[in-house]
Structure 1
Amino acid sequence: MACTALIVIDMLNTYAHEDADALVDSVRTCLPGVGEVLRRARAGDAPVIYVNDNFGRWRSHHGEILQAALDGKHAELVEPIAPDDDSLFVVKARHSAFFETPLAYLLGQLGAERVVLCGQVTEQCVLYSALDAYIRHLDVVVAADAVAHIDPDLAEAALRMMEHNMSADIRLSHEIAFNASAER
């Protein structure tokens, strides 16, 4: 049976990078949306998949990545949206959640034909992940109030590109359904 999977991109962040100061306020703004889409996915028994950078620690596993983020400068941005025991986890090295990761295979095993994207950064990792989902013939939904940006103008352009070039459904987190009869 086809399902919808939630993909949470790079929300486990240490905020120890050059763009962190520009990103933090946007993350604070999108946290309620991320929380809402997580609640809706879990209530609908949808797979929740965290896809995250590994901070260059190639021995990293999800516990180390989560702990590094919680030990970082802004644990308050990580704690409310931390993975639960049922969450799945994929480590990535580049911008796209799909690039050289097992995400496409995992989605196939889950029977996912539709993905909902949330996380950071809208104009980078979310955009590239949406493109890679689209070229894999997945229906793409982006929770517009659950994505954070560094550059607001580029983020707005990225959302328009996802909608127009990738047929992404851009909607607010409270409008996204995760059950089998969910509208596109």
Structure 2
Amino acid sequence: MRNSALIVIDMINSYDHPDADLLVPAVRTVLPHVTRLIAQARSEDVPVIYANDNFGEWRSHHGEIIEKALAGGEAELVEPILPDDASLFVIKARHSIFYETPLSYLLSQLDVDHVVLCGQVTEQCVLYSALDAHIRHLRVTIPKDAVAHIHSDLADAAIRMMERNMGAEIISAPDEVTF
């Protein structure tokens, strides 16, 4: 029996950064899948953990990050996936959800040995997070229809790397997810 957690990566976003024009169309495509994954995890009492960039706002907390994202020009991409009262939130400053965050400790406290990663960006934060999960001996599942990319060719290569080099289970979202 797996003890799983769903980790939603960088989806609380104001989309006011240089690559946003390339990223937003992919986010629109994956958003329904991410929304369903979150709903499925919540219905199965699987922890939903948001691991989100602080976008250089060093005095911010998760509530301020959410407020800024909702005030941005793409609030409709944030509203459907907002954390609920049971959600957990880890603020990160770099690409990996593990790098200098308390996530490893949190997962150990929850007795999690399997992470399902969704969110953005496939060829950056998702890839680096999958690698860091792998080296921590966590089982990794990537629902490929629930990760958004900036560059599709790099995202395709990242998916292949996660599957081949890290042993990640690559599935479609959310129909094939088993928490």
What is the TM-score when the length of structure 2 is the normalising length?
A: 0.98
Please, which runs of 5 or more residues in structure 1 have no aligned partner?
Answer: 179-184
Aligned length: 178
State the match for 2:6 in structure 1: 6
State the match for 1:43 in structure 2: 43
Q: Is the 8 A contact 1:2 1:111 kept in 2?
A: no
Quick one: distance in 1 between partners of 2:69 and 2:3? Answer: 30
Deviation for aligned residue 1:159:
0.3
Aligned sequence identity (%) = 67
Q: Is the 8 A contact 1:40 1:177 kept in 2?
A: no
State the match for 2:99 in structure 1: 99
Quick one: distance in 2 between partners of 1:111 and 1:177? Answer: 17
**Alignment partner of 1:56 is 2:56:** yes
State the Cα deviation string for residues 17-54 of structure 1 (Å, max 9, x = none).
00000000000000011011111111110010000011
State the match for 1:182 in structure 2: none
Per mean C-alpha deviation after superposition, the further-off stretch among 52-61 and 157-166 is 52-61
State the match for 1:177 in structure 2: 178
State the SS of the aligned residue for 2:63: helix
Quick one: distance in 1 between partners of 2:84 and 2:47? Answer: 12
Q: Give the counterpart letter for 2:40 in structure 1.
A: R
State the match for 2:148 in structure 1: 148
State the SS of the aligned residue for 1:175: coil
Q: Give the counterpart letter for 2:135 in structure 1.
A: I
Q: Give the counterpart letter for 2:171 in structure 1.
A: R
State the SS of the aligned residue for 1:99: coil
State the match for 1:85 in structure 2: 85
Please, which runs of 5 or more residues in structure 2 have no aligned partner?
Answer: none
Q: Give the counterpart letter for 1:12 in structure 2.
A: I
Q: Give the counterpart letter for 2:137 in structure 1.
A: H
